Structure 1
Amino acid sequence: MAGSAPVSSLRAGFQYQGHRVTVRRCIPWPDKRLRTVADPVAEITEDTRAIWQDMIDTMEAMPGVGLAAPQIGIMQRLAVVDASSERGQAIRMANPEILHASVEFREHEEASPNLPGVSASIVRPRAVTVRFIDETGTIKERDLVGLWATSVQHQIDHLNGKLYFHHLSKTKRDILLRRAKKLKG
C-alpha cells in the first residue's frame, strides 16, 4: 500500500521461548501518520499475517491490550486486540468498524506508546458490535464488552487518525500534550 512501511522496516527480532519475536518501533507523536486515516485492506495475504504477528509481538512487549498498524508506521486498517488476562487470545482485524455501541458507558485510563508517560481517563461505550475481516479473509462480527470494547474503539480511533486525547476537552488535551512534551525533554 502507498505510504506503508515494508514488513522488514523498523523491526527488532529476537528469540523468546523458542519462537521468533519481532517488536516494531512505535512512531512518536506528532508524526503526521498518526493523524492520517489508514488505507482499507483489499485482501488478506501472507504479508498481512506477518504484520499482524509483528503487531501482536509488539503489543505483548509493551505490554498493551491492542495495537493499530499506523502506530508502527503501517498505513493499513489493521488492528489487534487482546484484553484477556492470560493473553494469547488476540483478535486480528482488518477494516474493523463498529456496527453498534451500547448506551451504557465505562471510564478507563487510556494511554498510547506513541505518546509515552501520559494517560487520561476516557469515557466510551461499555459494549460494541464490531465487523472486521479475520486472518482467513472471512467477514466476522463480534460483540465485545469492557476492556475488549474499550481497546477496539481505541484502535479504530488510531485507524481514523485520532488518538485517545482527541476525546478530551481542548483544555485537558493541551495540558496533557504539554506534560508529554515536558517529559520528552
Structure 2
Amino acid sequence: MIRPFLQWPDKRLRTPCAPVETVDDAVRATWEDMLDSMYAMPGVGLAACQIGVMLRLAVVDCSEARTSPIRMANPVVLHASVKPRSHVEASPNLPGIHAEVERPRAVTVGYMDETGAQVERDFVHLEATSVQHQIDHLDGLVYLDRLKPARRQMLLSKYMKARARAGRR
C-alpha cells in the first residue's frame, strides 16, 4: 500500500525513531508499504518515519531493475570510509528542492534483516549514500542538516515559499 509522505516541517521528521524489538508480521507489512511508497516516488530508499511510522525501519533498493530491496531494522553505521563521495540528495518530505551532500563513500552497517537475524553488510557508492540518508531520518535528521547553515536556510526558504504558493492555489 502506498502511504502519504509527511511534509516538512512535521515534527516527526525531527524526532528520533524507537528501536524495533522484534521482526514480526507487523514490521514486515510496514516494510512492504515502505517499498510500495518508495517505488511509487520513485526513490532508492525510505525510512519509516517519512510515512509517519516512528520505528527504526528502513528500505533501500538501488538496483536498476528495482528488484533487490534491502529491509533493515535498527540500522547503525559500524564503520565508515574516510574517502568521501558527493551525491545530489532529495526527499519526498521536502519536494522541489535538492542539494549535493558529501558523505563517506563506503559504510559497514549492522541491522536486523527480514528474518530477525543480526547482519553486518558493506555498502558503497549510491547504496552507501542511501543507507546513511535513511539512518539520518531515523535519527531525526534530514539531508539539509548536512549542509552549511546559509545553504540550508536558502533551500528551506525556497521550499517554504513554494509551499505557500501551492497553498494559495
TM-score tier by shorter-chain length is over 0.9
Partner of 1:142: 121
Determine if the alignment matches structure 1 residue 41 to structure 2 residue 16: no
Using the TM superposition, give the Cα deviation of residue 182 of structure 1 relative to its aligned residue in structure 2, in angstroms: 1.4
Using the TM superposition, give the Cα deviation of residue 86 of structure 1 relative to its aligned residue in structure 2, in angstroms: 1.2
Determine if the alignment matches structure 1 residue 55 to structure 2 residue 34: yes
Partner of 1:175: 154
Distance 2:64 2:85 in 1: 19
Structure number having the greater helix percentage: 2
Mapping 1:32-111, distance limit 5 Å:
32-111=11-90
Aligned CA RMSD, in angstroms, stands at: 0.5
Unaligned regions of 5+ residues in structure 2, if any? none
Would you identify which runs of 4 or more consecutive aligned residues in structure 1 move more than 6 Å? Answer: none
Partner of 1:121: 100
**How far does the alpha carbon of each residue in 1:12-69 deviate from its partner, in whole angstroms, 9 at most, with x for none?**
xxxxxxxxxx100000000000000000000011000000000000000000000000
TM-score, length-normalised on structure 2?
0.96
Structure number having the greater strand percentage: 1
Q: Give the number of aligned pairs.
A: 164
The percent of aligned pairs where both chains have the same amino acid is 58
TM-score, length-normalised on structure 1?
0.88
Letter in structure 1 aligned against 2:52: G
